[in-house]
Every structure is written in structure tokens, then in C-alpha cells.
Chains A and B, each alone.
Chain A
Amino acid sequence: MADSEMIMTGAEMVLKALAEHGVKHVFGYPGGAVLPIYDEFFQQDKVKHILVRHEQGATHMAEGYARSNGKCGVALATSGPGATNCVTGLMDALADSIPMVLFTGQVPTHLIGSDAFQECDTVGITRPCTKQNWLVKDVNDLARIIHEAFYVATTGRPGPVVVDIPKDVQFAKGTYTPKDGVIIKSYQPQTKPDAKAIEAAIAMIASAKKPVLYTGGGVINSGPKASKLLREFVELTGIPITSTLMGLGAYPASGKEWLGMLGMHGTYEANMAMHDCDVMINVGARFDDRITGRLDAFSPHSRKIHIDIDPSSINKVVRAHVPVIADVAAALEAMIAAWKAHKHGLDHAVLKAWKAEIQKWKDVDCLKYRQSKDVIMPQYAVQRLYELTKNRETYITTEVGQHQMWAAQFYRFEEPNRWMTSGGLGTMGYGLPAAVGVQAAHPKALVVDIAGDASVQMTMQEFSTAIQYNLPIKIMILNNHYMGMVRQWQQLLHGNRMSESYSDSLPDFVKLAEAMGGQGVHCDKPADLDSAIMKMIETPGPVIFNCEVANLANCFPMIPSGKAHNEMLLGADITDEEVGTAIDAKGKQLV
């Protein structure tokens, strides 16, 4: 390309770089400090801009987009309030390791520091909630920085980054740097495992009597190949497998060795297997507190192998006997090769005894709940949704709370990248905009946000975005007229005093959907549930399904705060008194 073709304005560089990185969708909202970039959007058709209603929505859409197709999500906001509105989405992406590039406009360089209109210290505010961020002061640095931003966001442990571009830099002309050859000397994440670590891991697994695989979001982040390799490794070894909330779908729920999700609202069999195992193989998970329960009683008899791409995850909360720093796919590939070359392998009789033990825990049927003829049980609603959508290409997002846990427990994921939920940060209001992002990435697929009545109101306005772009998302609200998880904790911890956790003055969700230009569906009887779900699915365009469920149902099984994996509360026949006394004084102080 002639040199003169590489001379362009900063705003042109942004669009050129987006095209060079294969970006198809940008979720954004215009404002004074990004007008030059918006002017460029107007004059091209390679990158589609999706206009959101609030910048937080843009960030969650970018997250949903990224999680459902493995590409980098891209969002765009103006300076000041535009940037600050993105903070929640950035932190959410950081907590869940989601690749995202956020572009923000900034006041012109000569006004920075003058408390100008819509000025804020964007790089200062976003520093702790990004993997890296940049303020671009010279247009000649802009293209290189954008390439670095994409590289940092998508490699190593993925995460969000921010590129803050002052308005004068968007107008200024400079030289565009192509993306090839841009490297960051100080940033070279290790992806290939150490051969000795793999050898030690395989030897440890081969000597196990009660092995368990504990997998996490790292498997999903590593790409579809990692899920394939994980399935192959399980098939090869016959080791029982559980997953965190973030890792659902990496191993199919119909798989022979599947134990269900583990952790606070995980299954009894998964948590008991974790507690009693002698070798734990952590693949791309981070021993989060929702997983471990009480740490000093966490899996007390096991030796632990920990595969993680981020060295700071190793030994952060739980000591790893064999740390493997690597990308999950690379580590699994090496482990499969080493396993095949290994002479002995697991003792089948011993493994069979371990599985018999696990079967006893499975027989407890921990997800059992009391069915009702009069009201829709929320668990039942998710079960029916699963049965009626399992043969379609379905993507599920959620908000945060009881409905999220029921979705995780009762929707059975067979493939990776089909499940988008806010795990680490626990952001209410994530699911609706995330669904918009997923639908943009998969226009033909069925995208359902399993929502709660409280959460969904936090980012309700993005339903309008779905209408504008005819993104036919389906919002299934499990409406119990409560912030259910808040209420559950008040019942557990605070003498059943339900302080401010009742959802008063709820909108008529059907009318709300119609007012915004979509369709509404309502159902409050178990007998009508299937037809209501089918109506939601078959109605064209965005739909809100107000599914009235049992108001006081609680989410079980549960590891109460401050308790260990083998001290789970089971749900089916629990009394109010047992709920009220489940957590002791020490546990009450925890979150």
C-alpha cells in the first residue's frame, strides 16, 4: 500500500483497525467526544453499529457476543458519563475473563485536567477493572495501541481493555500502523505446559483411587478444541467430572461421567466427590469462594493438580501440589498424549468402587423439589424450557439470583459457549443485554434470557435495542415478586426479616413488552406452561414471557456460608426452622 494511503485521521484509523481485526459488530452510544468516530461509522458498511440505550448495556452485549462466539467483544462510549456507565461491564468482564475492547471518547488533549464538560479520568477510573488501558495522546500511536488492545484482550487470560481517545486525536491525521508485527515485549503469556509438570500430573492421576475433574471457565475460554479434548480425556480415563458455573457445557450434561455443577448451589454428588476425592484435577478454574465453601475443610484428603493460564491463580487460595501453567487446550493435549503413553493407567476395580460411592450420593436426588398443581415451580419452568428447546440451537443467558442457579441446575448444557451468565461479579441486569449481544452473533439461533423480576428491571431499556435491530431475544422472567436470593439469605441469616427484598410496584411485563414494540406472554398455571413457552419461542421478534412462579420457593441444595462441602442443606423436605438455624454466627459475617 502506498504511504499516502496510510495517512488518515484518528477516527478513520479506528474503523480501519476494527475491519483489520475482523470486527463485525460494535455496541455503542454516541456523544460529543466520539462524534468523529460516529461520522466514520456513517460512511462505511463493514462494521455494524448497534445503538444501545445505556452504555452498561453495550458492555454486557459485547460480553454476550464474545462468550457465545469466542471472538472479542467491542463497545464504544463517549467521555465522562459514557465511560463511567461502562465500569460495571468492564469489571464483570474482568471477573469472568471475557475478551472485550472498549473505546471511549475523551475531551481534547488541551482540555484534559481542566474539569471540562463531560471530562473524567477514564484511564484512572477503569484501571482496576481492566487488564490494561491506554490514553492515546498522539494519533501516530493510535493504530498500534488498538492492535495491542486486541492482542491483550484476547490472549493469555482474556479480559477487558480500554482505549481512551481524545477528540482532537480523532480529528488529527497521522500514519496508520498495520496490525502485523505489533508485539508487546513485556507481555508474553505462557500457553505451552511444562513437560515435567504434565508428567507429574499424569503420574498422580494414575495413582488415584478417587479422582475427580473440576473444570471451569478456562475450558470455555480456551476455545471449542479444549472442550473436545476434555471430553476425550474423560472418555480415556473414566474420571468423574464436575464444573463451575462458568464452565457448564464444556462437558455435556448427558455425559456418562457428569456429576453436575459443584459449589454453593451445586449438586450433592459433585460436592461430596470433591470433599472425598484423593486426586483433584482443576482444569481452568480458580477455587472461588462459591466453589470451595469453608476453606479449611475443603477437600481435605486430596492432592491437587491445577491447570491455569494465569500464574497468579496458582496457590492463591488453595495449594496446588502440581501446578500446570498453560492454556487448557495445550495442557489437555499434552495430558492425553502422556496418558496414552503411560504404562499403567487407573485401576479399574478401584475406580468402580469410587463410582459406586458416587452413585449413592446421586441416589439422594438432591435437585428434587415439591411439585405443585396450582403454581408453577421455578425449577419446573426451567425443566420445561429445556425439554422444549433442547433440539434447537439454543443459547441461554441469565441475570443474577435464584433463577440463575435454577437455570444452572436444571438446564442441561451439551455444548460450550451456549451459556452466558455473570459468575464472578454477579451483575444483576447482565442477561438481557447479553442476550442482545448473543443474538447479534447468532441471528438464526434461539436466545433465551432466563431472568428474575428484579434483575431484569436493571437493564430493561435494552429490550428497545432488540426491537430496533429485530433481534428476536426471548426474556423468560421467573416472576416471584421478590429479589429471591436476597430473601433466601434473609431467611437463612436474618430471622426471616425480609428487609426491602419484596418487588413492589412491578410493571405489567406483558404491557411493557407491547409498549416497547415487542410481544408479551403471560402464564401462571403449570398446565398452561408448555404452550406459553412454545408461544414465546414461536412468536417472531423480541418477546417477554412473564412466568409467574411460586413466590417463596428457595434454591437448594446449598452449602450454607461457613460450611464445608459435606455439610449441604438439601431442599426437598427442609423445614423453616432448619433454614433459620443453618448458619452459625461466624458464617453470618461471610458473603
Chain B
Amino acid sequence: MNAHQQATGSAYFIDTTKKVVETHTLAVVAANQPGVLARIIGLFAGRGYNIDSLTVSETEHEKHVSRFTIVTSGTASVVAQIKAQLDRMVLVHSVEDLTVQGNFLARELAMVKVSGQGDKRVEALRLADAFRARVVDASTESFVFELTGKPDKVDQFISLMVPLGLVEVARTGVAAISRGPDAMKI
């Protein structure tokens, strides 16, 4: 009765049923102390969880807290385990699953370098305009575009730039926040 619902994690788990892998975006607020990033990354590495994207920065200097946005994927029970494992860490204040709450904003910033001349260069600039990417650096044979948006919008822009002379990409990873008036509890 339990088998089909179980997480992996036991030496005796022999399961042949397929499980649906879901992607979840987690917001994690932790004390801004040395080692907290290593501990969180170590949890994912040590227990074999996926990190699709992880961003972190101090958000409130006076309270010494940092906010992590972690995009992870796994079956429902694995994701539940990830949240529980994060939440029990001594330095973690709180964990929220934005995907479960629904209705959240996820944004990432990318800087995209495109080299070339002639028609391709014109087309790159035209598409950048359509995507509301800004030109932050230009030379006679290159642009660096700055683009902010949902990850799939960034993906799409990058794939469009490939035939137009894309040479380099830097992406920040996802930062996410819930919509509406309520703030995350710390």
C-alpha cells in the first residue's frame, strides 16, 4: 500500500512504477553566516537531489539574513523531503515552496554577447528590441544585451541569438517572490 508513494532512500526499495518528476521553486531564508551556502549545497549533493538553479544574496543586512531561491526537481515525496531537510538546518529560518503556493514571479537576468556584422547584426538588434533587451555594450562588431525575464523567455532569446552570432552568455539564475501583499515569514 505504501510502495507506490515512497521516496527512494531505503536499501530495500524495489520499485518499478514510474514517478512523475515535478519542478519546484523554493524560497529559503537563512542566517547570513559562514558555511550556510556550503551546508545547503552539501545537502543537495550528499543526498542526490537536483539543483536546476540556485541564487543567493544577503537581503536584510541588519537581520543578517540571506535569501536563497532554489529551483529543484524530483518526485513529490523527494521534494517534500528536500523541504524538510532544508527546514531542519540550524541556520535556516524558513522554507517556502512557491510552486505549491502558486502565483509567484520568477525572474532572471542574462547578459548575451553577439558578434557579427551586416544583416545579422541588424536582425539581432531588432529582436533585442522586441524582447526589451537593453544594449549595455556595443562595438562595431558586437553587442552585449541585458535581458530580464522569466527563464523561458531568456532561453528563447538566447536560442534566437545563436544563428545571429551568439558567442557568450552569463545568466544569474532565478530569483522568485510571491505576488500579493503577504510577505514570507522569517
Specify the chain A residue showing the minimal Cβ separation from B46: A128
Q: Contact between B38 and A293 (Cβ–Cβ < 8 Å)?
A: no
Task: Among A132, A184, A317, find the residue whose CB has the most chain B CB atoms closer than 10 A.
Answer: A317
Question: Would you call A591 an interface residue if the criterion is a C-beta within 8 Å of the partner chain's C-beta atoms?
Answer: yes
Q: Contact between A293 and B12 (Cβ–Cβ < 8 Å)?
A: yes
Q: Contact between B34 and A295 (Cβ–Cβ < 8 Å)?
A: no
- Complex interface: stretch among A35-43, A296-304, A393-401, A532-540: A296-304
Q: Contact between A319 and B91 (Cβ–Cβ < 8 Å)?
A: no
Q: Which residues of the other chain, B, contact A185 by a CB distance below 8 angstroms?
A: 31, 93
Q: Contact between A312 and B85 (Cβ–Cβ < 8 Å)?
A: yes
Tell which of B30, B80, B87, B90 touches A152, judged by Cβ atoms closer than 8 Å: B90
Tell which of B3, B10, B30, B46 touches A289, judged by Cβ atoms closer than 8 Å: B10
Q: Contact between B84 and A296 (Cβ–Cβ < 8 Å)?
A: no
Question: Would you call A373 an interface residue if the criterion is a C-beta within 8 Å of the partner chain's C-beta atoms?
Answer: no
Q: Contact between B35 and A295 (Cβ–Cβ < 8 Å)?
A: no
Within 8 A of B (CB), among A124-165: 124, 127-128, 131-133, 135, 152, 156-157
Given contacts A135-B34, A152-B90, contact A314 B84 (CB under 8 A): yes
Tell which of A157, A186, A298 touches B30, judged by Cβ atoms closer than 8 Å: A186
Specify the chain B residue showing the minimal Cβ separation from A309: B88
Q: Contact between A296 and B90 (Cβ–Cβ < 8 Å)?
A: no
Chain B's interface size range is 20 to 34
Q: Contact between B12 and A292 (Cβ–Cβ < 8 Å)?
A: yes
Q: Contact between A295 and B88 (Cβ–Cβ < 8 Å)?
A: no
Q: How far is the CB of A563 from chain B (nearest CB, A)?
A: 9
Specify the chain A residue showing the minimal Cβ separation from B65: A186
Specify the chain A residue showing the minimal Cβ separation from B15: A296
Specify the chain B residue showing the minimal Cβ separation from A148: B90
Question: Would you call B39 an interface residue if the criterion is a C-beta within 8 Å of the partner chain's C-beta atoms?
Answer: yes
Question: Would you call A574 an interface residue if the criterion is a C-beta within 8 Å of the partner chain's C-beta atoms?
Answer: no
Provide a sorted-by-A list of 26 A–B residue pairs whose CB atoms are within 8 angstroms. Answer: A123-B35, A128-B42, A128-B46, A132-B90, A156-B88, A186-B93, A187-B90, A289-B12, A294-B14, A295-B3, A296-B2, A296-B6, A296-B13, A298-B2, A301-B1, A312-B81, A312-B84, A312-B87, A314-B84, A315-B81, A317-B7, A317-B9, A318-B6, A562-B12, A562-B14, A590-B12
Q: Which residues of the other chain, B, contact A294 by a CB distance below 8 angstroms?
A: 12, 14
Q: Contact between B77 and A315 (Cβ–Cβ < 8 Å)?
A: yes
Q: Contact between A131 and B90 (Cβ–Cβ < 8 Å)?
A: yes
Q: Which residues of the other chain, B, contact A289 by a CB distance below 8 angstroms?
A: 10-12
Q: How far is the CB of B104 from chain A (nearest CB, A)?
A: 23
Complexed CA–CA distance, A293 and B14 (Å): 11
Chain A's interface size range is 35 or more
Q: Contact between B42 and A318 (Cβ–Cβ < 8 Å)?
A: no
Question: Would you call B5 an interface residue if the criterion is a C-beta within 8 Å of the partner chain's C-beta atoms?
Answer: yes
Within 8 A of B (CB), among A542-589: 561-562, 586
Complexed CA–CA distance, A128 and B35 (Å): 11
Within 8 A of A (CB), among B23-76: 30-31, 34-35, 38-39, 42, 46
Question: Would you call B161 an interface residue if the criterion is a C-beta within 8 Å of the partner chain's C-beta atoms?
Answer: no
Interface set of A (CB-CB < 8 Å, partner B): 123-124, 127-128, 131-133, 135, 152, 156-157, 184-187, 287, 289, 292-296, 298, 300-301, 310-312, 314-319, 561-562, 586, 590-591
Complexed CA–CA distance, A128 and B43 (Å): 8
Complexed CA–CA distance, A295 and B88 (Å): 25
Specify the chain A residue showing the minimal Cβ separation from B91: A186
Specify the chain B residue showing the minimal Cβ separation from A151: B90
Q: Which residues of the other chain, B, contact A186 by a CB distance below 8 angstroms?
A: 30-31, 90-93
Given contacts A123-B35, A185-B93, A296-B2, contact A311 B12 (CB under 8 A): no
Q: Which residues of the other chain, B, contact A317 by a CB distance below 8 angstroms?
A: 6-7, 9-10, 13
0/1 interface trace, chain B 78-104, chain A, CB 8 Å (1 if under): 001100110110111100000000000
Tell which of A132, A316, A586 touches B91, judged by Cβ atoms closer than 8 Å: A132
Shortest Cβ-Cβ A-B pairs, 9 listed: A296-B3, A312-B84, A132-B90, A289-B11, A186-B93, A289-B10, A187-B90, A317-B10, A590-B11
Tell which of B35, B46, B80, B84 touches A133, judged by Cβ atoms closer than 8 Å: B35
Q: How far is the CB of B136 from chain A (nearest CB, A)?
A: 35
Q: Which residues of the other chain, A, contact B13 by a CB distance below 8 angstroms?
A: 295-296, 317
Complexed CA–CA distance, A300 and B46 (Å): 31
Tell which of A131, A157, A300, A319 touches B6, judged by Cβ atoms closer than 8 Å: A319
Q: Which residues of the other chain, B, contact A300 by a CB distance below 8 angstroms?
A: 1-2
Q: How far is the CB of B4 from chain A (nearest CB, A)?
A: 8
Complexed CA–CA distance, A157 and B87 (Å): 13
Q: How far is the CB of A181 from chain B (nearest CB, A)?
A: 18
Q: Which residues of the other chain, A, contact B34 by a CB distance below 8 angstroms?
A: 135
Q: Which residues of the other chain, A, contact B91 by a CB distance below 8 angstroms?
A: 132, 186-187
Given contacts A124-B38, A127-B38, A300-B1, contact A295 B93 (CB under 8 A): no
Q: Contact between A319 and B2 (Cβ–Cβ < 8 Å)?
A: yes
Complexed CA–CA distance, A156 and B31 (Å): 19
Given A292-B10, A296-B2, A315-B7, output 4 extra A-B contacts at Cβ < 8 Å: A123-B35, A135-B34, A292-B12, A296-B3
Tell which of A157, A312, A586 touches B14, judged by Cβ atoms closer than 8 Å: A586
